[in-house]
Structure 1
Amino acid sequence: MPLMSAISQRRVAVNGIEVNVAVGGSGPAVLLLHGFPHTWRVWSEVVPELLRHHRVIAPDLRGLGASERADGGYDTANLAADAEGILDALGEPSAAVVAIDAGVPPAFLLALRRPGRVRRLVLMEATLGPLPGAEDFFAGGPPWWFGFHRVPGLAETVLAGNEAGYIGWFLETGTRGRGVPSDVHDDFVRAYTGRDALRCAFSHYRAAPDSARQLQEAAAASRLAMPVMAIGAHPVGDALEGQLRPVADDLTGHLIEDCGHIIPLDRPRELLALLTPFLAGPA
């Protein structure tokens, strides 16, 4: 079925802001959390199949896409509260949660703090701040853009007027040169064009110290009891699995070969081959 005919978008009030959420289908809920530089449409190639058996809920993260350009609240705890508020607003007591990149830390924190809301958890292509297990990945230092994005006011000043080239670099690199569909490419570029849009995007990085503390405290206080799947590709590989293994009771790890960072757009069929049976499993 054509994606746009099966999905409607609405704005919902959560945690003091308005969030844009794409919703469609029926059945057990699946909450999809995107990363940078994405909108909910990073899931475009997998949503049609998920709609066959699930109610799909795919928000634009705080400050990104068509969601409100919030002044603050970009730390992981607030993003997790946003996610829980979306479930509340849509009348879903629980959901399977699938996240990539910047969506991973709030999904992880939600599952730790509110385990009754997360039936199953799928995390891909990200790291969980300072949690142990990813030392090899960080041996050469974090990715270069982490520092660039964290300096207050710098990146948006440098990039204003050059957003298409910058976002395009991440989309090409994140698919190992294969690129993304043109309509999705254009959607992403529009979503990150303008100083305020860039400010919101980089605010996620600038909240890293608070987010790191929140992740450490939550991981020290509780464990993931629900089934968890870690999916890696290039460049994160199995680093996320390494961080999850000490805190997850039921963890499965997978690596997708010849796949870039943006797994849902680069290798959607391979991703669905992992997601479909995992999401169909018992709660």
Structure 2
Amino acid sequence: MTVRDLPDLAGVEHRFLDVGGLRTHVALAGGGEPLVLLHGWPQHWWQWRHLIGPLAQHFRVICPDLRGLGWTDAPPDGYRPAGMADDIAGLLDTLGVDRFRAIGHDWGGLAGYLLALRFPERMRQYIALNTASPFLRPTPNVVVGSARLWHIAANAAPVAGPLLAARAIPDWALRHWIHRSAALTAEDREIFLAQFDEPARVRATVRYYRNLVTHEIPLLLAGQYRWSRLTVPTLVLTGDRDPIVSVESTREFGSLATDVSVEVLDDVGHFPATEQPELVAARALEFFGAQKSPLSNPSKPPKSP
């Protein structure tokens, strides 16, 4: 596999750890209680570059690269959300972390939900960024809205998938899923896209999305998690200009979620940690009890599902 240089960020330490046979890259910063940041696709730990500094002033920030992405190995299997959650739990065990907080986005957001459902005694609080709720029902709005998710079928396609996942769709996603395009520089975009020059990572993307089509979406719509009890205090932050994850798809939790609030971020696309990092950091620190957010807007209270 091609060796790429890790981008430099002040105060960040990089480790490569063996987690159940998976060589896992993790970026670490700060001190205090653990806070795990779980990135989405087509990104990696660098997604959190603007948040690591502010959050590391209060927490021990742990930013792993998910299986097959960034600098974590890309084996031929394990590309289901439950496997991602197992990877993260194993990494925390390796680091000696028991109780933790987490922020997850996109694929990392789904992994975060599964960690909350499977290990509620370990997760103290959770923030999901632009992540569809795993408790969704197949309502007409959900079915109609699925048309915006064409990239899933494209990445999963038998012949075209490996060709399109080699930069074409990742580049399109980084350019079109962001509302505040000036927030993502050409240099940052290239840092994310360079991983897709490696055939093993392209194959990993194809496997993520094929498993999504063949297993996860049918199970989600059939109610796999609909009757699971979410007891971890959860804050959902979602951009109102996200072209792939609708606000409605992030709000549905049913009666078994005991402590969930949803807040819509104005004029933000799919990448709030890039588009509005100061706001996301402030909301996170407020929710986690680290400080009162100076950016809170009393005219826009969090919306309950």
* TM-score, length-scaled by structure 1: 0.89
Q: Is it true that 1:64 corresponds to 2:69 in the alignment?
A: yes
For residues 72 and 139 of structure 2, the distance between their equivalents in structure 1, rounded to whole angstroms, comes to 32
Quick one: which amino acid aligns to residue 191 of structure 1?
Answer: Q
Q: Is it true that 1:243 corresponds to 2:247 in the alignment?
A: no
Q: CA deviation digits over 1:73-130, x for unaligned, max 9?
A: 1111111101111111111102111100111221111111111121101112122457
- TM-aligned CA distance change 1:27 to 1:115, over 3 Å: same
Q: Is it true that 1:199 corresponds to 2:203 in the alignment?
A: yes
Q: Is it true that 1:266 corresponds to 2:275 in the alignment?
A: yes
For residues 29 and 133 of structure 1, the distance between their equivalents in structure 2, rounded to whole angstroms, comes to 36
Quick one: which amino acid aligns to residue 168 of structure 1?
Answer: D
For residues 246 and 224 of structure 2, the distance between their equivalents in structure 1, rounded to whole angstroms, comes to 25
- TM-aligned CA distance change 1:140 to 1:122, over 3 Å: closer
Alignment of 1:1-283 (within 5 A): 4-128=9-133, 131-132=136-137, 136-142=141-147, 143-158=149-164, 160=166, 163=167, 166-176=169-179, 177-208=181-212, 209-212=214-217, 216-220=223-227, 222-233=228-239, 234-235=241-242, 236-280=245-289
The sequence identity of aligned pairs, in percent, is: 26
Q: Which SS does the other structure have where 1:243 is aligned?
A: coil
Deviation at 1:139, TM superposition (A): 1.7
For residues 134 and 197 of structure 1, the distance between their equivalents in structure 2, rounded to whole angstroms, comes to 34
Q: Which SS does the other structure have where 1:259 is aligned?
A: coil
- TM-aligned CA distance change 1:261 to 1:137, over 3 Å: farther
Quick one: which amino acid aligns to residue 265 of structure 1?
Answer: T
Quick one: which amino acid aligns to residue 58 of structure 1?
Answer: C
For residues 118 and 153 of structure 1, the distance between their equivalents in structure 2, rounded to whole angstroms, comes to 40
Q: CA deviation digits over 1:126-172, x for unaligned, max 9?
A: 22457328753542434111111122343213454xx2x54332122
In the alignment of these two chains, the number of paired residues is 277
For residues 134 and 62 of structure 1, the distance between their equivalents in structure 2, rounded to whole angstroms, comes to 32
Q: Mean Cα displacement is larger for which, 87-96 or 202-211?
A: 202-211
What is the CA RMSD across the aligned residues, in angstroms? Answer: 2.4
- TM-aligned CA distance change 1:118 to 1:212, over 3 Å: farther
* TM-score, length-scaled by structure 2: 0.83
Q: Which SS does the other structure have where 2:68 is aligned?
A: coil
For residues 140 and 288 of structure 2, the distance between their equivalents in structure 1, rounded to whole angstroms, comes to 30
Which structure 2 residue ranges, 5 or more long, are not aligned? 1-6, 292-305
